Amino acid sequence: ATQILANYGLLPTQAIKLFFNQLVATHKIPLSFDCHAAEKQLTAKLLNAISELGYLSFLFLHH
């Protein structure tokens, strides 16, 4: 765990402080147990961007 935190430039004590600050600020545990939520969100964003690019290229190619 310490190596993962180090990759983010955090010490364990800093990570715990961030966790507690979010807990107090939101009154919720700042964790998601849906391991695919971020992937689904990214996929939706990518599909949206691709469709926008397709629409934009259609506009540029047909004008």
Q: Is the pLDDT of residue 18 over 80?
A: yes
Q: Is the pLDDT of residue 12 over 90?
A: yes
User: For 14-18, what is the mean pLDDT?
Assistant: 93
What local confidence, expressed as pLDDT, does residue 55 receive? 60
H or E stretch including 22? helix 12-26
Which pTM value belongs to this model? 0.50
Mean pLDDT of the chain: 80
Q: Is the pLDDT of residue 57 over 70?
A: no
Taking CA atoms, 57 is separated from 14, 46, 63, in Å, by: 46, 16, 10
